[in-house]
Amino acid sequence: MTNGEKLPVIWLSLSTCTGCSITVLNSTSPTIKNILVDEVIPGKHLYVRFQHAVMASSGELALGEIRRTVQGKGPFVLVVEGAIATAQDGKFAFMGEKDGKPRTQASWIEEIAPKALAILAQGTCASYGGIAAGAPNPSGAVGVSKFLKMRGINTPVINIPGCPPHPDWFVGTVATVLLGGLPKVSDIDEFGRLKAFYGKTIHENCPRRAYFDEGKFARKFGEPGCLNELGCKGPVTHADCPIRLWNHGTNWCVGSGGLCIGCVEPAFPDLLSPIYVKLTDASIPSVIESRKE
């Protein structure tokens, strides 16, 4: 895109808890106000035409914003939050009506996805199915990439996993696209996410790592020591939380004495549960194997 260009964005909230919207409200540099109102990168302005949590309009008036974007000539970006429900022809998840009948969310993706410049899969549900796809997956929830493959749609997808993702991961992925277009293959890992944010394990950068190396383990919450014995999933989880920190650098899961639960991984949640049970050497290969699917 050229300087001064306005890039329309459609943000669809599907089988989601809306946490992936709320997390973006927590962005600090840029703020959510900057993202919505200002040139988020000098000369480049997002036009967020449809975003369920913040938009003024409702009903048909709101859906009209999707139509004018999809039917318009210019490029647009689709952000998908939440998994796509596919069981029973998608009839576990609706948005709007068609011919007086509820319209499935899956049918919206079928219509919009082929026309989008690119799709950002915001969060673990949109990336890989996530919690909605936890066994026995009652609604047949799948991530965007899998759904597009099922439907033979070839639009490029960039995954921004995390339950929810850190706002910087979303903003950083958007900035990557605005500055240089689609990321190079070498910048993306085998699970479709930017290496810049998901390149190293939690364990590699954890401030409690020294305890692990010395063999000092916490036996209950509130104790110093590595949290491995309590069930921490940091050794198999790829994200920069320990150095980036959450909520404007305030803290992070392990910083509050809690566990890393592996929420950015394709294996989340099934292969990373039970949460409070120590990862066994035997379970680690299966977690890594699942990530290769």
Partner 1 sequence: MGHIVIDPVTRIEGHLKIEAVVEGGVVKEARSSGMLFRGIETILRGRDPRDAQHYTQRICGVCPTSHSMAATLNLDSAFGIADKIPDNGRIIRNLILGAAHVSDHILHFYHLAALDYVDIGAVAGYEGNDPALLSVKKFALEGDPVPFLPRYKGDYRLSKEQNLAALSHYLQALEMRRKGHEMLAIFGGRIPHNNAIVPGGVSEVPTVDKIASFLWMLNELRDFIDSVYVPDLVMVAQAYKDYCEIGRGCGHLLSYGNYDLDGKVADYGKRKRLLASGTVDSSLRLEPLDTDKITEDVIHSWYQDVPPLQPLEEKAPEPQLDKKGAYSFIKSPRYKGQVYEVGPLARLAATYVSGDPTAKASVDGALSKLKASPKALFSVAGRHLARALCCKIIADSMPAWLLQLKLGEPAYLPYTIPDEAKGMGLVDGARGALAHFIEIKGKKIANYQCVVPSTWNLSPRDKDGHPGPVEQALEGTRVKDEANPIELVRIVRSFDPCIACAVHVVTPKGNTRGKYIVS
Catalytic residues: 17, 20, 125, 163, 203, 206, 226, 232, 241, 253, 260, 263
Q: Give the nearer residue to partner 1 in terms of CB position, either 70 or 188.
A: 70
Window contacting partner 1 (CB under 8 A); options: 16-24, 176-184, 191-199, 204-212: 16-24
Three-state DSSP string of 123-136: CHHHHHCHHHHCCC
**Rounded least distance, CB 130 to partner 1, Å:** 8
Going by C-alpha positions, the residue among 167, 184, 87 that lies closest to residue 123 is 167
**In this structure, what are the phi and psi dihedrals at residue 13, rounded to the nearest 5 degrees?**
-100, 115
Going by C-alpha positions, the residue among 264, 291, 272, 293 that lies closest to residue 123 is 264
Window contacting partner 1 (CB under 8 A); options: 54-62, 174-182, 197-205, 209-217: 54-62
* Helix (H) or strand (E) run with residue 80 in it: strand 77-81
Copy the structure tokens of residue 272.
Answer: 């990373």
The answer to the question of residue 56 lying near partner 1 (CB under 8 A) is yes
Strand partners, 50: 10
Q: How far is CA 278 from CA 93, 186, 248, 272, in A?
A: 36, 34, 30, 10
Site for partner 1 in 195-254 (CB under 8 A): 220-222, 246-248, 250-254
The answer to the question of residue 23 lying near partner 1 (CB under 8 A) is yes
**In this structure, what are the phi and psi dihedrals at residue 197, rounded to the nearest 5 degrees?**
-105, -30
Copy the structure tokens of residue 195.
Answer: 């290496």
The answer to the question of residue 3 lying near partner 1 (CB under 8 A) is no
* Three-state DSSP state, 23: helix
List, in order, residues 6 or more apart from 178 with CB less than 8 Å away: 1, 7, 40, 41, 44
The answer to the question of residue 32 lying near partner 1 (CB under 8 A) is yes
For the chain, give the longest Cα–Cα distance. Answer: 66
Please identify which residue in 30, 129, 143, 164 interacts with partner 1, judged by CB under 8 A: 164
Window contacting partner 1 (CB under 8 A); options: 17-25, 142-150, 152-160, 191-199: 17-25
The answer to the question of residue 185 lying near partner 1 (CB under 8 A) is no
**Rounded least distance, CB 250 to partner 1, Å:** 4
Site for partner 1 in 89-108 (CB under 8 A): 91-97, 102, 105
Q: Give the nearer residue to partner 1 in terms of CB position, either 12 or 183.
A: 12
Site for partner 1 in 112-141 (CB under 8 A): 130-132, 134-139, 141
